[in-house]
Amino acid sequence: MTQQQLLLRLKDLDEQTARYETQRQRNGLSAYEERLARVSEELSVKTARIGLIESDSTETELAEIEKAIARLEGSLSRSTSYDTALLKNELAPLREQKAALEDRALHQMLELEELQPQLPGLRASLLEVQQELEEARPEEQERLDNLTMRLEALARERGEVTALLPQEVVNVYAKTGRVDEIKQGRCRCRLEVPDHFQRQIRAGNAWVCNTCGSLIIQNLNP
Ligand SMILES: [Zn+2]
């Protein structure tokens, strides 16, 4: 192989390597992991909300108020006319509190009725996604192993190719990662390439420009 062919092969190997590296960075399980996080978050938020409602003191407070009201109403039935006005004054705010508590209890009941039936479905989804994730793991591992194998093969061939090129050419390529074409006898930097170097380039050799440090070959797409 000429230096030009070797350099183009080197470029090709590096491009493939970059592609496989990108594929290896990608997490093939991320869709499952995101779904798992979403379902588990929803389940924990709803479970916590149910716990909060169930441990709420509304029912106890309501029972206390009802007892107080019953007591006052008992006194009212036995009271004199002077006491009646006082007792009625005491009763009014208690009845308001009772109404507010009943309202709250009703809302909590409705919320529980909405939330509780959702839990079994969410638990089932959680198990399902967990299972899907576990099932996807071996396939993902296989994908990664396959990429690693290909990358190792590319690295081996890269070693073979660079060993066949002059050290200076390899160094320049390593520094810039690029190879350029000679155009109308000139380098990228417009410098006219001396005749005998042009002949060498035509023969398939690579040439390093002293002025701009470019790596020049005859044809990028031979
Ligand atoms: Zn140049």
Please indicate, yes or no, if residue 114 is contained in any of the structural domains.
yes
Query: What pLDDT score does 34 carry?
Result: 97
CA–centroid distance, 212 to ligand 1, in Å, is 4
Please indicate, yes or no, if residue 192 is contained in any of the structural domains.
no
Query: What pLDDT score does 221 carry?
Result: 85
Q: What pTM was estimated for this model as a whole? A: 0.72
Query: What pLDDT score does 14 carry?
Result: 96
CA–centroid distance, 112 to ligand 1, in Å, is 77
Cα–Cα distances in Å, from 8 out to 12, 89, 167, 206?
Answer: 6, 98, 16, 11
Look at the chain and report how many structural domains it folds into. 1
CA-based nearest residue to 19, from 177, 158, 151, 176: 151
Query: What pLDDT score does 179 carry?
Result: 95
Please indicate, yes or no, if residue 21 is contained in any of the structural domains.
no
Please indicate, yes or no, if residue 218 is contained in any of the structural domains.
no
Secondary structure E strands in the chain: 180-181, 207-208, 215-217
Calpha distance 165→97 (Å, rounded): 91
Please indicate, yes or no, if residue 152 is contained in any of the structural domains.
yes
User: For residue 186, what is the DSSP state?
Assistant: B
Please indicate, yes or no, if residue 211 is contained in any of the structural domains.
no
Q: Which helix (H) or strand (E) holds 16?
A: helix 3-25
Query: What pLDDT score does 3 carry?
Result: 96
Domain carrying residue 121 = 26-163
Per-residue buried b or exposed e for 85-94, using 16+ beta carbons within 10 Å of the residue's own CB: eebeeebeeb
Please indicate, yes or no, if residue 207 is contained in any of the structural domains.
no
Q: Which residues in the chain land under pLDDT 70? A: none
Please write the tens of the pLDDT for every residue from 68-110: 999 999 998 888 887 888 888 999 999 999 999 999 999 999 9
CA–centroid distance, 213 to ligand 1, in Å, is 6
Assign residue 104 the CATH number of its domain: 1.10.287
CA–centroid distance, 35 to ligand 1, in Å, is 54
Please indicate, yes or no, if residue 198 is contained in any of the structural domains.
no
User: Beta 207-208 vs 215-217: how paired, if at all?
Assistant: antiparallel
